Amino acid sequence: MSRGLILFAHGARDPRWADPFQAVVEQVRAARPELAVRLAFLEFMTPDLAAAGDELAAAGCTEVAVVPLFLGAGGHVRRDVPGLLDTLAARHPATRFVLRQAVGAAPEVVAAMAAAAARALDP
């Protein structure tokens, strides 16, 4: 079984906005070289979720985890993403697409944000 990972971000009109997300991709690739990792966007930037999913399915991935790089599971994660994944699953029946929790809900992310906020007034 070949496994893939889509890191899914919102997107923005300014391409520099994606720099931290690209850094996340590079760190994941370094930590998990056996995974095919792609960064995808909901809007304004490419590739979108469909294109990234198509690419991983074409590369032979039989299981693809989709990790929203969102702080919480708002409307996009709860409503929009499942429909997009249903469309991908119908187009690629040999590939299982699995939506994971938004990274902002992970305890280690919450702890990192709290630590950064606590240092906000430090010199």
What is the torsion angle, in degrees rounded to the nearest 10, for the CA atoms of residue 8, residue 6, residue 15 and residue 105?
40
- Please write the tens of the pLDDT for every residue from 62-118: 999 999 999 877 666 778 889 999 999 999 999 999 999 999 999 999 999 999 999
Query: What local confidence, expressed as pLDDT, does residue 85 receive?
Result: 94
**Reported pTM:** 0.92
- The domain made up of 2-118 is a member of CATH 3.40.50.1400: yes
User: How many C-beta atoms surround the C-beta of residue 87 within 10 A?
Assistant: 14
Q: What percentage of residues in the chain have a pLDDT greater than 70?
A: 97
